[in-house]
Amino acid sequence: MAVEVSRSRGGRPPAENGDPGEAPFEPIQQLRAHEYVAEQVRRHIALRLIRPGESLPSERELASMFGVGRPTIQHAMRVLEADHLVEARRGRGGGTFVREPAEDSGAMEELVARVLRQGDELDELLGWRRTLEPVIAREAARARRRADLTAIRGTIREMERAATEADYMRYDTEFHLAVAGAARNRFMRGAIEEVRLGLNDALSLLPESDAWHRRLSREHRAVAAAIEARDADAAAAAMDLHVMNSVQGVRAALAAIRRSMAS
């Protein structure tokens, strides 16, 4: 994965006498190696691809994965510890573990406040998801391979076996990433990652009931069946229905929260 960079959107306007003056661009600020490592781990935690309480690979393994030295990994872990995302445990069975999220009422209030602060951005993300995912499902039906079907079916099985909501959300994310992977287009997969990151908090407000999970399971299986049959129209329609129901669920949850806060 390419290192993310940031660019200034500013720049000096041309001088009034026609002299262009200084170029309106500024040098790219490239992330340092430890910042890149920390950002990649942070994204996996936010997407719930690494579960709370789960151990990260060892420093040696992470150094090999990222192609950096162990001091870089150690620096990245200190950054993540400072952000309260991971914790180091000593002794037998020690290592670096993803921290369990707080479960008290204060944490829930902060989650709700964070979602409400997103405002228009969240509404735009929901609309973008409704546009994006049916297109990706259509492409997945056309381009999928046998290994993609195995990955998609595997995420559905894991969702149905999930003992906790955190596990369920992890495999729900993996399902949508697996569908995007089947489209054989890295930009589509990247777009799904960004959407899931943006909607992560809002999706946490959806119901945690067996009835809700059974409904999602039926929708996931319909998408998977259409992709397996290489029926692009059916895959797009099944994904559109699934995303529409999820979007409606998020909006209903937000409306209920706003009503409760206004009363």
Domains of the chain plus CATH, in order, are 5-98 (1.10.10.10), 105-262 (1.20.120.530)
Is pTM, for the whole model, over 0.85? no
The residue type found at 178 is: A
Asked if residue 138 lies in contact with residue 235, where contact means CB atoms within 8 angstroms, the answer is yes
pLDDT at 258: 72
Instruction: Quickly list H helices, 29-104.
Output: 33-46, 59-66, 70-82
Instruction: Please give the share of the chain, as a percent, with pLDDT higher than 70.
Output: 81
- Give the highest mean pLDDT range of 95-104, 135-144, 187-196: 135-144
> Rounded CA gap, 139 and 134, in Å?
9
Express each pLDDT in 11-64 by its tens digit: 444 444 555 555 566 555 556 888 878 877 887 777 777 878 889 999 999 988
Tokens 């559905």 sit on residue: 156
The residue type found at 9 is: R
Top pLDDT among 133 and 19 is at 133
Average pLDDT, the chain: 82
Top pLDDT among 107 and 100 is at 100
Express each pLDDT in 147-162 by its tens digit: 999 999 999 999 999 8
> Rounded CA gap, 77 and 37, in Å?
9
170, pLDDT greater than 90: no
Closest CA to 219 of 254, 192, 179: 179
